[in-house]
Structure 1
Amino acid sequence: MGTYYIKQRVFSFKDSFSVFDADQRELYRVKSKLFSLQDRLTITNLDDQPLVEIKQQLSFWKPRYIIEENGEQVAEVIKNFTFFKANFSLKPHNWSLDGDVWSHQYTLTDENGPLMHVTKKWFSWGDTYEMQIEDESHLLTYIAVMIVMDMVLHNNNNTFSMDGGSGE
């Protein structure tokens, strides 16, 4: 089991994050594309080599994002309609991300049980998530899922909506 932290960079024009291990060593960076109508982010190594792409898909009712590694789609993240709860479906893995928007605690599961536990840290400078990962074989996908969840639920650009966006 591994512990990782995703920390939002506060002073940037668009979404920007750093990913750290339990010893606070930076492992990855997440940068958004400027001047894009839809959310598009890239997870890179410390040499700015792209590893994962996150692309928002146009959708009328439910936010949808595609996660790609090496140009291949590895997951589609869909925000399900809920009141005051976080609920995302991930295809084709049959994973589910559930949690409480108010307490900022989330769990990613599959049919066998938990894959990852996440807590959004209170009173931190910018959004900070602590990720407890059971199996690190999908680490980059898990990081991408958390970035999507942050954009959908906690982005300052959101307004309160019935799909669970809290507009914090």
Structure 2
Amino acid sequence: MTIYYIQQSLLSAKVRTVIKDEEGRSVFLLVGSWGTRGDSISIYNLEGGILGSAKQTKFAVKSQFDIYRFHEKVGSLSRIFSINRDFYYVKKLRWVAIGDIPHQDYRIYRFNELIMSMTKEVSHQGDFYKIVIQDDDEAAICLCIAAVLDYWTRKSNKLEELATQKMADIQLG
């Protein structure tokens, strides 16, 4: 089991983001951006070798992301449905992710086995995601999925803000 920290404001930003371990040492580099079809993010080790990536393949209400380990496709991540919690599925890997968007709390499972957890933590240095990965061999895939989950959280929050603003405009107008 390994714990990683990513500064929340940088996870979905269009900048290079350093992923650190529990001791604060830089471990991985996340590069890329979201927004249009074909956009992707990649996870690199500090020597510059690519470990994993996520590429947006569908861009709409039902967006989808292909997940790669090195350059080999290992699965496709898509949102199944959202009621009180969000549910996601990674085809081929048979992983299920359950998310609580308001609290920014996520868990990924393979059947009953916990693969990864992602929670928001607040410190004097800012807001961070604490990502706990059970198997180090799956770290790159999990970190790519974490970036996609954060993207969907930000996208959901923006849509919610737009809907609230439209309702306020209608009530004032």
AA paired with 1:52?
G
Q: What is aligned with 2:119? A: 119
Mean Cα deviation higher: 99-108 or 14-23: 14-23
Tell me the alpha carbon deviations over residues 55-106 of structure 1, each in whole angstroms, 9 at most, x when there is no partner: 0012543221011123210121111221352211011111111021111111
Alpha carbons 1:84, 1:102 under 8 Å: kept:
no
Q: Which has the higher helix share?
A: 2
Q: How many residues align?
A: 160
User: Unaligned regions of 5+ residues in structure 2, if any?
Assistant: 162-173
- Structure 1 distance, partners of 2:127, 2:92, is 28
> Would the alpha carbon gap of residues 32 and 160 (structure 1) be closer, same or farther in structure 2, given more than 3 Å must change?
same
In the TM superposition, residue 38 of structure 1 has moved relative to its aligned partner by 3.9
AA paired with 1:148?
V
Bigger Rg over Cα: 2
Tell me the alpha carbon deviations over residues 135-166 of structure 1, each in whole angstroms, 9 at most, x when there is no partner: 222111111110110111125984229xxxxx
Determine what percentage of the aligned residue pairs are the same residue: 24
Alpha carbons 1:8, 1:15 under 8 Å: kept:
no
TM-score, normalised to structure 2, is 0.77
> Would the alpha carbon gap of residues 16 and 8 (structure 1) be closer, same or farther in structure 2, given more than 3 Å must change?
farther
Q: What is aligned with 2:63? A: 63
- Structure 2 distance, partners of 1:84, 1:60, is 21
User: Unaligned regions of 5+ residues in structure 1, if any?
Assistant: 162-168
Does residue 1:47 correspond to 2:25, yes or no? no
Q: What is aligned with 2:7? A: 7
Question: How big is the alpha-carbon RMSD for the aligned residues of Structure 1 and Structure 2?
Answer: 2.9
Does residue 1:85 correspond to 2:77, yes or no? no
Does residue 1:23 correspond to 2:27, yes or no? no
